[in-house]
Chain A
């Protein structure tokens, strides 16, 4: 089992024929993802990477019965692409694009909620369900199959964490990069709820970072309702205040959103919080050894 995407997911790629879209769509195909087509306005009717290209998401959905979309559209048009997918009621929309204006995302997210579709990202590496489907840009080989769910605000740190989990003798069910922007489609809580329902996932690794209060909300949720063990790491313990650390969302405003504050809240909720990013694998081993 897995969450969000699996081997039966029918995926379309928006921004299919662009450089990024082509490269990563091919990588996803090689992984075994069922990509059923793509969307590039104005290129409808062509065949790209052996799959049909459509002008609109509506058309793509009608012809392919797609239920997942992977978006590589440039930042100035990306929110529009998200809303187009939402309008067609694509169930899971994964937006990889970095650099989307916050005000655009504010509207796009609202619309996704209204349409009752799930948005992952933007500014994220996507979703991978081990041995089933990769809907994103992560290196597939790192994510060996196992029992651990992974939710992360970061890209490469997700790969690092997955690698540690695998080296510790465990594997991954599904790993989701939720993105590093101030406004993202799905939160830790949203995805913890899905992992709670997934029998195969025995524990969850959560990688947060400075900025916002999503991790604090996760702590509250874990304390009250989530019964599987959780390991957490919060990146940016040493980040200076008021400086944007790469991700648009990774910024400490005033005294809010510090790593310390989040680590404390998670610890209080019973989460195993690692100080060092190199101890994620070890911590998983420890909690999995518990009776």
Chain B
């Protein structure tokens, strides 16, 4: 789960990770009062959306007086922000974060992420603050300093020293850095984060470290023990059909093609997308109906897939194991009686009780239904049907 910068900073503040003073604003009339309350004579006005690249897209502005604060807040609030991470549709900015200026000495990068190969969290730092870390890793790998943290030892002083020496910090700065880094690790551990990124991490002219930016992603599997984090979820940032799907334990990801897919199992669902592409079609979605698919979930699946106006055919690809095919067949039957499915329905049911399922569907005489004997056959028929070339 992702959260906004201002929410990540609230979490930082709770743990004592230093952040600049700031205020969240969703109405432009509040801008002036907020700026005055923060104080100082320079402010950053930052769009709050779940996407990187805000600065380049015009979502972050520096205001040098109250008039500019008001101007920028009014410009950014409500704007459609298009960054390399939002896609062409962009995102409407509903909140801006107004932040007091900081006297910067140097900018760094600091992050913590799970290294799947080492199976440990790694803390990553670099002198190239403010740059995209992936690009630094590619072009100047020597400027990246990494340490793996064993969950048994936790974050120790030697970890901090290794990073601090790498950054060529002075002794006094090292002490500050060590405190900052160990607190950040505590945040990572205690909130079950999967990623924390501070870019840039700023060393102020007073030799203090402060998080100028903040990004935290959380492990979805651990949210059950963090009710306070679940509350931070911003549904405006998520695809409505994906939220709806989640309510019914369906795993759905919207894509741009025209062949709707309904599959049991994540791996088979991914490879169903792959095989559609293999036959020169474009999948409209990833949809895993899971191991407990019932008539209700199948019906809901149709409902969600058909909300996408691009869908020209639906490929139902089920390999029955624990999920019995006859149950899916009844689900299809019930769903087509409830919701009108106007597009061709390509059905491939294999595995447990597949013959019984075929019989159920044949007896029902559902219109628009096309049977497929196996995976390849189904994918080909679905692609052809979506192109409108069906017999």
Contact = CB atoms under 8 A, between A and B. Distances in A.
A107 B151 contact: yes
A139 B321 contact: yes
B151 A110 contact: yes
A44 interface: no
A101 interface: yes
Q: How large is the interface on A (under 10, 10 to 19, 20 to 34, 35 or more residues)?
A: 35 or more
B274 A235 contact: yes
Given A160-B319, A236-B274, A248 B221 contact: yes
B322 A277 contact: no
Contacts of B205: none
B295 interface: no
A154 interface: yes
B116 A212 contact: yes
B222 A254 contact: no
A157 interface: yes
Given A238-B283, A243-B253, A101 B192 contact: yes
Interface in B268-308: 268-278, 283, 286, 288, 291
B7 to A, nearest CB: 19
A238 to B, nearest CB: 5
B286 A246 contact: yes
Contact of B321 (A101, A156, A235, A249): A156
A235 B267 contact: yes
Contacts, number: 172
Contacts of A67: none
B116 A138 contact: no
Nearest to B269: A246
Nearest to B239: A243
A277 B264 CA distance: 15
Interface centre among B189, B224, B265 (most CB of A within 10 A): B265
A244 B195 CA distance: 15
A158 interface: yes
Contacts of A24: 322
Interface centre among B225, B271, B375 (most CB of A within 10 A): B271
B369 to A, nearest CB: 21
Contacts of B283: 238
Contacts of A236: 270-271, 273-274
Contacts of B120: 106
A277 B151 contact: no
A226 B379 CA distance: 34
Interface in B114-153: 114, 116-117, 119-120, 134, 151-152
Contacts of B269: 245-246
B264 A106 contact: no
Given A157-B265, A240-B255, A137 B322 contact: yes
A159 B321 contact: yes
A182 B114 contact: yes
Contacts of A247: 266-267
A209 B267 contact: yes
Interface in A227-268: 233, 235-240, 242-250, 254-255, 259
A238 B253 CA distance: 12
Contact of A102 (B222, B263, B288): B222
Q: How large is the interface on B (under 10, 10 to 19, 20 to 34, 35 or more residues)?
A: 35 or more
B37 interface: no
Given A153-B267, A276-B275, A248 B220 contact: yes
Given A107-B151, A183-B116, A276-B376, A142 B351 contact: yes
Contacts of B330: none
B199 interface: no
B321 A138 contact: yes
Interface centre among B116, B255, B275 (most CB of A within 10 A): B116
B194 A102 contact: yes
A240 to B, nearest CB: 7
A210 B251 CA distance: 16
B219 interface: yes
Nearest to B120: A106
B219 A101 contact: yes
A196 to B, nearest CB: 22
A243 B333 CA distance: 32
Contacts of A6: none
Contacts of A279: 376
A180 to B, nearest CB: 6
Contact of A101 (B117, B222, B251, B278): B222
Given A156-B265, A180-B267, A245 B274 contact: no
Interface in A204-233: 207, 209-213, 217, 233
B320 interface: yes
Contacts of B319: 156-157, 159-160, 163
Nearest to A156: B265
Given A163-B350, A183-B116, A246 B277 contact: no
13 contacts: A76-B225, A102-B222, A106-B114, A109-B119, A137-B321, A139-B321, A155-B265, A156-B268, A157-B267, A160-B268, A237-B277, A244-B220, A246-B267
Given A101-B221, A235-B268, 6 more contacts: A103-B222, A139-B321, A154-B270, A163-B350, A212-B117, A276-B275
